[in-house]
């Protein structure tokens, strides 16, 4: 679009929403998440975020009180959210080491897909281009990846219960 036909812009060739935030359906990672798995991998470096954080589960965006100059609006609007720290991905203390981010972690500014907090994956804000119809999503994904986490061949009802996508059980305890 704006980039003008410069396909070279993103040499990666690929493109799209990295986190999943865009596609509420990108939970495919979470789908595969089963019981706790003991990954031999160990985080090479220190983690900046760990444990529970005080943020508004409603919006998720942490509020930065007091005026912080221009970088952070005094209004305390959305800036950067932090992982809930209770969801499975958040509990993953080890990187899968197989996802593209893990392989490119050196150059990738993204966290391991397996470790991506489900909360952050969900609606970041009421404004987005993607995240709307999860209908064709599954159909499209089949074409793109050619693989579906589930075995369901065709069944719109078989889709993951997004309705039950509610957080683990800390949302109510928060606030």
Partner DNA sequence: CCAACCGGTGCC
Partner DNA sequence: GGCACCGGTTGG
Instruction: Closer to Zn ion by CB, 20 or 90: give it.
Output: 90
102 binds, among Zn ion, DNA, none (CB under 5 to 8 A by kind): Zn ion
Out of 21, 83, 92, 124, point to the residue binding Zn ion (CB under 5 A): 83
Residues 93-112 that bind Zn ion (CB under 5 A): 95-96, 99, 102, 112
Instruction: Closer to DNA by CB, 45 or 151: give it.
Output: 45
Instruction: Closer to DNA by CB, 28 or 88: give it.
Output: 28
117 binds Zn ion (CB under 5 A): yes
40 binds, among DNA, Zn ion, none (CB under 5 to 8 A by kind): none
| Residue 41 in tokens | 């991998």
Q: Min. distance of Cβ 3 from Zn ion in angstroms?
A: 28
Q: Min. distance of Cβ 149 from DNA in angstroms?
A: 11
Q: Min. distance of Cβ 151 from Zn ion in angstroms?
A: 24
List the alpha helices (DSSP H) in 113-171: 118-121, 135-145
Instruction: Closer to DNA by CB, 125 or 173: give it.
Output: 125
87 binds, among DNA, Zn ion, none (CB under 5 to 8 A by kind): Zn ion
Q: How many CB atoms lie within 10 A of CB 126?
A: 7
Q: Greatest CA separation found in the chain?
A: 54
Helix (H, G, I), strand (E, B) or coil at 72: strand
Instruction: Closer to Zn ion by CB, 69 or 106: give it.
Output: 106
Q: Min. distance of Cβ 103 from Zn ion in angstroms?
A: 8
């Amino acid at each position: 679009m704006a980039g003008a036909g410069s396909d070279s812009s993103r040499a990666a060739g690929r493109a799209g929403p990295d986190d999943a935030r865009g596609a509420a359906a990108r939970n495919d990672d979470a789908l595969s998440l089963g019981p706790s798995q003991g990954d031999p991998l160990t985080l090479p470096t220190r983690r900046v975020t760990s444990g529970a954080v005080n943020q508004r589960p409603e919006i998720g965006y942490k509020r930065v009180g007091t005026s912080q100059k221009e970088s952070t609006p005094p209004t305390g609007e959305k800036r950067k959210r932090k992982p809930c720290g209770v969801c499975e991905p958040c509990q993953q203390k080890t990187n899968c080491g197989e996802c593209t981010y893990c392989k490119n972690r050196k150059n990738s500014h993204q966290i391991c897909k397996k470790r991506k907090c489900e909360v952050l994956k969900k609606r970041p804000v009421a404004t987005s281009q993607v995240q709307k119809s999860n209908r064709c999503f599954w159909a499209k994904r089949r074409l793109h990846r050619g693989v579906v986490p589930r075995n369901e061949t065709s069944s719109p009802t078989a889709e993951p219960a997004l309705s039950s996508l509610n957080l683990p059980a800390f949302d109510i305890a928060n606030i």
